[in-house]
Amino acid sequence: MASEKSAVQTMSPAGDKSIFRPEPNFARYIPGGYSPSRCMKLRGRAITFAILAFAGCAITFFGYDTAVMSQVNTNENYLHRMGVASGSDRDAAAIGGLVSLWFGGFAIGALIVGNIADSIGRLKTIQLGCIWGMLGAALLASAQNMTWLAFARVISGIGCGHLNTTVPVWTSEIADPHLRGAFVAVQFTLAMVGSAIAYWMEFGCVKTQSLSFAWRFPLGFQIVFLLFILAVAPFYPESPRHLAKIGNLEGARSVLTQCRIDTDENAIDAEMDEIVSAIRAEATSTSHSFYSMLFTKDKLHTRRRVLLGSGVQVMQKLTGIDFISVYAPNMFALSGFKGDKPALLAGGNWFGYIASLALSIYLADRVGRRKLMLIGCLLMGTVLIVGGVLSHETISHSDSNPSLATQYGSGVAAVLYIYTFIYGSTWLTTCWVYPTEVFPLASRSKGAALSTFAFSIAGGTINMIIPYLIQAISFWVFILFALINLAMLVPIYLFYVG
């Protein structure tokens, strides 16, 4: 204990007290958060697995929320209730708009997190996100018209934006440094599990329940994840970076000792020195606000880091993954299959998606982020060109030679499976790990928020136009995203490192 106090005193001389920022007074009125007496007593690998379970549940919710509209968009009761059942261009735009509003809320949630996560802590921020998410889920499940659903989608997005911005940052700050890449990869395996749960739950409801229940129940079921996260968060340790920033260096050191597999005193001291140095750099930096991060030069090159972190999130949406994951039944319909086959094929694709994450876990800390992005774009661009050609042949022979069209259609389905596997094993984890790594501790929370904001804007735009694209250009949507993937090789090669 004496050595611990000595280390703390060494790191916080009187002249350094100004670098710490105590929690604002209003933070004490927000229930929950971190308490040393309430925090679970697990240590080492045990607490590592507990953190993984908690973060995994939050990311499972993200995956569920991302995919929950995939079959809602084709539910006849939902389409009639929202007044978008005619199949016109206007209705296609409205369907895409309702999906995109979630991304607008997601962006708002990310910006809120950037402003409050450093003030009230990661755990309280996560809990506030749960409140937003539960309100949104309740409104979604009870929606009676398009306006109602539109507001509900925004509120639900705010909650998910809170969680998905804060949880990766909290994880990167609390997880053992040697496990961070694999840690995030495992979390996003669970995200795909969440998406698969949403998809198959909706399919089962359509086959066994009323059409109204089949879209309302899955939208409301999100509350189950959020209640669990809200209930257990107060029993977890806070980010040592946040504890140090508010001046609680002893608490930060205690959390590091609890959460590190290697509890060597020198290693803990070195990590504490790194954290305090980052806080000191933040205190002397000119980039304290979103505006200054974007428009002011500083010695940490914050503006360039923002462009890199945000750029990778925009590019991951431009790979075209949403036109398969969110509108999967529509895309498999381009394979020429009828009836339940497009929905079944789309549901089966989630299993390949989940399996791809096993490869991602292996590659995450071995190949490097930049190489994975380059390999992913090259392979996805290639297979999408093949998919476009096969889809064209499927449509061309659908009337004259149905048997041959079926064979080509099987090829299209195979391409969609291969494409999803490539994306999952290369881009899915990279685009979320990179923004947490490219920013130093001094600006990580706000940097991750800006990156998530970019993800939201790109996702909202892409999802708004995809229904129209599928309806307007048919199989050419494959070629369009293939060319975008190949074009992205240039900026990735020129500007990204690691």
Asked whether residue 276 is domain-assigned, the answer is no
Is residue 303's pLDDT more than 90?
no
Asked whether residue 251 is domain-assigned, the answer is no
Exposure letters 39-63 (e unless 16+ CB within 10 A, then b): beebeeeebbebbbebbbbbbbbbb
Domain encompassing residue 96: 42-236+285-495
The arithmetic mean of pLDDT across residues 160-168, rounded, is: 87
The arithmetic mean of pLDDT across residues 293-318, rounded, is: 84
Asked whether residue 254 is domain-assigned, the answer is no
Asked whether residue 180 is domain-assigned, the answer is yes
Report the share of the chain in percent with pLDDT over 70: 89
What's the total number of domains in the chain? Answer: 1
What is the model's pLDDT at position 2? Answer: 40
Determine the Cα–Cα distance for residues 347 and 349; give it in Å rounded to an integer: 5
Q: Is 22 exposed, middle or buried (0-12, 13-18, 19+ CB in 10 A)?
A: exposed
What is the model's pLDDT at position 86? Answer: 81
Is residue 15's pLDDT more than 60?
no
Asked whether residue 265 is domain-assigned, the answer is no
Q: For 188-204, what is each residue's pLDDT tens digit?
A: 778 888 888 988 898 89
What is the model's pLDDT at position 7? Answer: 42
Cβ neighbors of 174 (< 8 A, separation 6 or more) are 51, 237, 239, 240, 255, 259
Confidence band, pLDDT 50/70/90 cuts, at residue 5: very low
Asked whether residue 152 is domain-assigned, the answer is yes
What is the model's pLDDT at position 349? Answer: 80
Exposure letters 374-410 (e unless 16+ CB within 10 A, then b): bbbbebbbbbbbbbbbbbbbbbebeeeeeeebbebbb
Is residue 485's pLDDT more than 70?
yes
Q: Of the given ranges (63-72, 352-361, 483-492), which has the lowest mean pLDDT?
A: 352-361
Q: What is the dihedral of CA 33, 39, 40, 41, to 10 degrees?
A: 150
Is residue 9's pLDDT more than 60?
no
Is residue 174's pLDDT more than 90?
no
Is residue 12's pLDDT more than 50?
no
Is residue 449's pLDDT more than 90?
no
Average pLDDT, the chain: 83
Q: Give the other-Cβ count within 10 Å of 281's Cβ.
A: 17
What is the model's pLDDT at position 399? Answer: 78
Q: Read off the CATH number of the domain in which 422 is found.
A: 1.20.1250.20
Asked whether residue 349 is domain-assigned, the answer is yes
Confidence band, pLDDT 50/70/90 cuts, at residue 326: low
Asked whether residue 272 is domain-assigned, the answer is no
Instruction: Answer whether 427's CB lies under 8 Å from 317's CB.
Output: no
